[in-house]
């Protein structure tokens, strides 16, 4: 597959070092119901915060959020305001040299402020409650996270990375079109402008339903839409995305549900995707999800066979 043109995307090491003077934390690992748990206690000048995670292959699941109630706003705010970011390019450069030109090295910025509040700090259900009942507190935290993120932009843009992702995982069913336009998209555009000033590309990991957000994405300054997942998994086709975003690089995630099907179906779906993406400029097929250990080799080879079989066929 490498000989046929497969490219490795090396995500990390990161290019940002973060310290938090005055903040410390303790962790302990334990078992609950036969599952491993990791409890993290963060000590801030305003009091302690506790988070519980469940390790999983290649990731971890957040079992218990930091936020437990309104009394935690001042603690989380102290944690966020204590963060100090500085350049950390050595690991990135070392890994780039190790790869020997055999990979694209990509950097990244964490979730945008609202996304961190929803997914990392409060959780979806609690966010809905707090947005309705304590919006001023939520917005104070949002403003502090905005300051925090702006520390990162120049660091990433001046790094050796030629491209960088800014968060993502935007679920329109949760965020809504209005909140996306008002509280998320401006951050993407601000970061994109800084990246462009340094001759770099910026993209967003958008692996959910994109139809509702598509008109706003079209007006955005992002260069590429990464992890875009076409049907049957999500609601916007490659053909529609190409029509609506003619100036965006479309960096798709091959639909996971199809990846589990017989090789022949994978090849046929690959052909359909290529037909919709024609003539193929500014288009990348990738896999941005964890692949099943018993399926990844056969599935990737089937996609590759589909590319070789259908990639040079005439369109129309």
- We report the CATH number of the domain holding residue 110 as 3.20.20.210
Nearest to 203 by CA among 107, 131, 118: 107
Same domain, 165 and 112: yes
Number of domains present in the structure of the chain: 2
Res 240 pLDDT > 50: yes
What value does the mean pLDDT take over residues 154-159? Answer: 98
Give per-residue burial for 232-254: e unless 16+ CB within 10 Å, then b: ebbbbebebbbeebeebbbbbbb
Same domain, 14 and 162: yes
What value does the mean pLDDT take over residues 259-264? Answer: 96
Domain boundary among 82, 106, 131: 82
Domain boundary among 82, 98, 129: 82
Same domain, 54 and 94: no
Same domain, 114 and 102: yes
Q: How many CB atoms lie within 10 A of CB 102?
A: 10
Print the domain residue range for 164: 8-20+84-253
Under a CB-based contact definition with an 8 Å cutoff, are residues 127 and 73 in contact?
Answer: no
What value does the mean pLDDT take over residues 278-290? Answer: 92
Q: How confident is the model at residue 262 (pLDDT cuts 50, 70, 90)?
A: very high
Residue 167 lies in a domain: yes
Q: How confident is the model at residue 57 (pLDDT cuts 50, 70, 90)?
A: confident
pLDDT, position 313: 59
Residue 266 lies in a domain: no
Q: What percent of the chain lies above the pLDDT cut of 90?
A: 89
Residue 116 lies in a domain: yes
Same domain, 46 and 181: no
Domain boundary among 210, 228, 253: 253
Same domain, 78 and 89: no
Residue 312 lies in a domain: no
Point out which residues pair with 108 in neighbouring strands: 165
Q: How confident is the model at residue 60 (pLDDT cuts 50, 70, 90)?
A: confident
Range from 29-33, 49-53, 68-72, 312-316 carrying the lowest mean pLDDT: 312-316
Residue 289 lies in a domain: no
Residue 277 lies in a domain: no
Same domain, 77 and 108: no
Residue 288 lies in a domain: no
Q: How confident is the model at residue 314 (pLDDT cuts 50, 70, 90)?
A: low
List the Cα angle 43/44/49 in 5-degree steps: 60
Same domain, 68 and 98: no
Residue 196 lies in a domain: yes
Task: Identify which has the larger pLDDT, 165 or 56.
Answer: 165
Q: If you average pLDDT over every residue of the chain, what do you get?
A: 95
Same domain, 126 and 179: yes
What value does the mean pLDDT take over residues 261-277? Answer: 96
Res 260 pLDDT > 80: yes
- Digit-coded pLDDT (tens) for 248-257: 999 999 999 9
Q: How many CB atoms lie within 10 A of CB 271?
A: 16
pLDDT, position 315: 52
- Residue 3 to residue 232: CA distance in whole angstroms: 30
Same domain, 241 and 173: yes
What value does the mean pLDDT take over residues 261-287? Answer: 95
Same domain, 145 and 27: no
Same domain, 188 and 120: yes
What value does the mean pLDDT take over residues 27-43? Answer: 95
pLDDT, position 8: 92
**Phi and psi dihedrals of 190, rounded to 5?**
-65, -45
Q: How confident is the model at residue 312 (pLDDT cuts 50, 70, 90)?
A: confident
């Amino acid at each position: 597959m490498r000989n046929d043109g497969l490219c490795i995307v090396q995500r990390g090491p990161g290019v940002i070092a973060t310290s938090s003077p005055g903040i410390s934390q303790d962790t302990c690992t334990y078992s609950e119901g036969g599952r491993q748990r990791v409890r993290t206690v963060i000590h801030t000048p305003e009091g302690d915060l506790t988070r519980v995670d469940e390790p999983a292959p290649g990731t971890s699941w957040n079992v218990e959020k930091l936020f437990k109630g309104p009394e935690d706003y001042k603690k989380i705010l102290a944690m966020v305001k204590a963060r100090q970011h500085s350049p950390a390019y050595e690991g990135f450069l070392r890994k780039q040299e190790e790869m020997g030109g055999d990979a694209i090295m990509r950097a990244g910025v964490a979730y945008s402020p609202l996304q961190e509040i929803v997914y990392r700090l409060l959780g979806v259900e609690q966010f809905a409650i707090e947005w309705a009942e304590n919006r001023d507190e939520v917005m104070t935290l949002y403003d502090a996270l905005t300051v925090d993120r702006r520390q990162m932009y120049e660091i990433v843009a001046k790094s050796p990375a030629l491209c960088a992702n800014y968060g993502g995982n935007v679920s329109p069913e949760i965020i809504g079109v209005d909140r996306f336009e008002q509280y998320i998209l401006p951050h993407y555009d601000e970061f994109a402008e800084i990246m462009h000033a340094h001759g770099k590309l910026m993209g967003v990991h958008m692996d959910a339903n994109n139809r509702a957000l598509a008109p706003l994405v079209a007006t955005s300054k992002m260069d590429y839409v990464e992890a875009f997942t076409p049907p049957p998994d999500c609601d916007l086709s490659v053909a529609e995305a190409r029509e609506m975003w003619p100036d965006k690089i479309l960096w798709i995630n091959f639909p996971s549900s199809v990846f589990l099907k017989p090789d022949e179906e994978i090849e046929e779906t690959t052909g359909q995707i290529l037909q919709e993406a024609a003539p193929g400029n500014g288009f990348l097929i990738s896999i941005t999800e964890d692949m099943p250990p018993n399926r990844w080799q056969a599935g990737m080879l089937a996609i590759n066979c589909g590319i070789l079989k259908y990639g040079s066929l005439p369109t129309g």
